[in-house]
Structure 1
Amino acid sequence: MDFHVASKDQPTPMLHGEDPSTSTKTAQSTVTCMYQVHLGGCWRTVTSVWTKNMMNHSLNIFVESKEPNHRHHCKIDLAPWHFWGKKSYKTFDVDGLQIDVYWDLRSAKFSGSPEPCSDYYVALVCEEEVVLLIGDLTKKVYKRTKSQQSAADTILFFKKEHVLGKKSFSTRVKFDKHKKENDILVESSTLGPNDPEMWISIDGNVLIHITNLQWKFRGNQTVLVNNQPIEVFWDVYAWLFLHPGSSHGLFIFKPSPSRNSSDDGTEEHNDSSIKKDHSACNSSNTSHCCLFLYTWKIE
C-alpha cells in the first residue's frame, strides 16, 4: 500500500497488521511476542501475550499444534491478590507431549508495561529440556527444573505492543538476539499553536524528527541502530483527525539486510509500502525481530 497525503474529510484505510477488533472499549496494554521453538522434533510458533488493565493482569501462552488452525493454551494469572501464584507451575498437553510451565514473578520489576523488565522467569520444559526461557533469572530456572538447555536456539521473531499515553510512548525490543536490547521512545506534539511534530528515538538518540505532521502523518525511513539498518514505518492519522482513544497510531520497526547507509546514520527509504503480512518477519533462519507498536492517545 502506497503512502499518500489524505484529505481530513476522507476515511483512512487501516494498515495491515492492525487489530480491527480493538476499540475504545477494549483498548488495554498488551505485549505479544512470537518465538520459533524446536519442540517435539519440529519447529513451532509459541506466542506469549501479556495483558494488563484495571481488573486483570495475566500471561497467556499459546503453542502451535500440528493440527491446522489449532493452538494449545496455558494461562497464568498475575493479579496482585494472587501472590500465592507468583511462583508456581502448570502442565498441559501439546500433541501428546507433556509441557511443564514454570514461573517465578515474586520479585519481577515493571516499567509501565504488562511485561516485566527484569528479575523474573517463565520457562517451558519438555522432555527434560528448557525449550523456551523468558526473563533473566537463567540460573534459577535450570536449578529448579533440573533440566538442560535445548540444543536448538529459540528465536524471537515478532513483537507487538499496545501502549496507552498522552504525548509519549515507550517500549523495549531486541532487534538482534546477539545484541543488546534497545529502548524506543515515540514523542509527539499535536496540540497548541505550533505545527504538529513527532520524534522517534532509539537508545536516547533522536533518529527521526517529523515536522508538519498534518501532511506527513504516513511515511517511512531507514535508520542505523548499532550498524543495523532498521526500516521504520508510521501512520498517525488517528492522532490528528480522530477523537482521542477511538483509534491508534501504528509504528513498524523492521530490521533489514545490512547495506551502505548515509554518513549521518539515516537514509530516506524510497519504497513507500508496508509489508502485506507478518510472515515477512517470520523465519526460523534469522535472529532478527520485527516490532509492531500501536500507540493509543488518551486525554
Structure 2
Amino acid sequence: MRGLMSCYSELAVQVSDKSSCSNYKTVSNSVSLSSPKLIPSIQTAVTNIYKTTLSTGISHVITVTWCRNSTAHGLQINTGDDPTTAFRLNTNSGLFRKKKGNKAFEINDSKYEVFYDLSAAQYGTGAEPVDGYYVVIIVDSELGLFLGDMSDFKKMKSYKQVAKFDLISRRECFSGNTLYSTKAKFTGAGSCHDILIRCTGDDDGVNVKSPTLTVCVDKRVVIRVKRLHWNFRGNQTLFVDGLQVDLMWDVHNWFFASGSESGAVSGPGSGRAVFMFRTRNGLDSRLWLEDLVKMKDEKQEFSLFVYATKS
C-alpha cells in the first residue's frame, strides 16, 4: 500500500511543499491572471455548514447562509435536514431588518436560541461580514456555535458548556465574469490559502473559441485545462498541508445548457459551473458530493464548492 501511495503522490500536485516545483508553475505576473479586461465576479452568497458536538456526544448540523444584493445583506440559519428556515434576517426588509436581538425555536426536540448583532457589521467584497458583528447559537443550553467577535457578547461567561464545532462544508456563489477569487482552510490547524479560478480564451478573453481553465492556489498554477469546451468535466489531486485534496470541475452548462435548464435568462453560455475542493482520508473516498455531507467518526473531511454563473 505504501508503494501505491508513493506512486499516487507523484502524480498529484504538491502545493504546500515549495521545494518541489516540478508539477506546477509560479504565477510571476499577476496581470496575466487579473487583466483589466476581466472584472472579478461578485460573490452573492456563502453557505457554511458546521458540525456541532455537545458535551453529551450528540451532534447537530447547523447551516449558516450569508447573501447579498445591490442594496442589502441577509442571513439565514437552518438546522439538520429541516428545509424550514429557522432564522432569517434581511437588512432591507421592513419585517426582518432588526439588526440586533435574539430568537428562540425548537427543532427535533432540541432547543435553539440565536443571539446576533449586525448593527455595526463591516463587509468587504463578499457576502459575509468581516468585522464588527457576532452570531451566537445556543443548543440545549450549550454554546453550540459562535461567529464574529465574541468579546461583544455579554452573556458569553454565563455558558459553562461550550460545544465543539467544525466547518465541514462551504459553498460560495458568484455572478459576473469568469474570474473567481476566494480563500479556504482545508484543515483547522492549517493555514488559509488563496484560490483563483479563471476561464478565458488563449488571447486573454479575445479568442473565446479556445477557452482555457486555470486554477491557482497561493499564486501557483495547479491545473491548466485547454479546449475546455471538450474537457468540461475533470479532476486533479492536490496535496495541501499534508492532505489529499480532490479538485473537480464541471463547466458543462457554460457551453451547452439552455436558459430553461440552467435557470438563466439567456441561452447557452449562461449556465452555472461547479468547482469542488474536497479533502479525503484515503484512495477509496474519491466521490463527487455536491449536496450530501457524510458525518464520520474518523478525521473530518472538508469540502469547498464554488458555483459560478456567467452574466
TM-score normalised by structure 2 residue count: 0.69
1:36 to 39, 51, 59: 51
In the other structure, the counterpart of 1:58 is 74
Structure 1 residues 108 and 145: CA distance shift in structure 2, 3 A: same
CA distance in 1, matches of 2:128, 2:177: 20
Per the TM alignment, residue 201 of structure 1 is displaced from its structure 2 partner at its CA by 1.6
Letter in 2 for 1:134: L
2:229 aligned counterpart, secondary structure: coil
1:130 to 143, 147, 151: 143
Structure 1 residues 61 and 39: CA distance shift in structure 2, 3 A: farther
Q: Across the two proteins, how many residue pairs are aligned to each other?
A: 255
* Alignment deviations for residues 105-126 of structure 1 (CA, whole Å, 9 cap, x no partner): 2343333321223443211024
1:148 to 156, 159, 166: 159
State the identity as a percent. 28
CA distance in 2, matches of 1:198, 1:235: 11
Per the TM alignment, residue 295 of structure 1 is displaced from its structure 2 partner at its CA by 0.5
2:118 to 82, 94, 105: 105
2:104–2:111 CA contact under 8 A, matched in 1: yes
Match status 1:275 vs 2:288: yes
* Alignment deviations for residues 222-279 of structure 1 (CA, whole Å, 9 cap, x no partner): 11222322100001123334546731111111012279xxxxxxxxxxx9x7535644
In the other structure, the counterpart of 1:5 is none
Structure 1 residues 43 and 237: CA distance shift in structure 2, 3 A: same
Q: Mapping of 1:161-176 within 5 angstroms?
A: 161-176=172-187
CA distance in 2, matches of 1:230, 1:29: 25
Match status 1:257 vs 2:281: yes
1:117 aligned counterpart, secondary structure: strand
CA distance in 2, matches of 1:229, 1:170: 21
Per the TM alignment, residue 62 of structure 1 is displaced from its structure 2 partner at its CA by 1.0
2:54–2:142 CA contact under 8 A, matched in 1: no
In the other structure, the counterpart of 1:237 is 252
CA distance in 2, matches of 1:216, 1:63: 37
1:172–1:182 CA contact under 8 A, matched in 2: yes
Structure 1 residues 108 and 226: CA distance shift in structure 2, 3 A: farther
1:36–1:284 CA contact under 8 A, matched in 2: no
* Alignment deviations for residues 32-85 of structure 1 (CA, whole Å, 9 cap, x no partner): 1211123594212111122223465311111237xxx56561112233989973
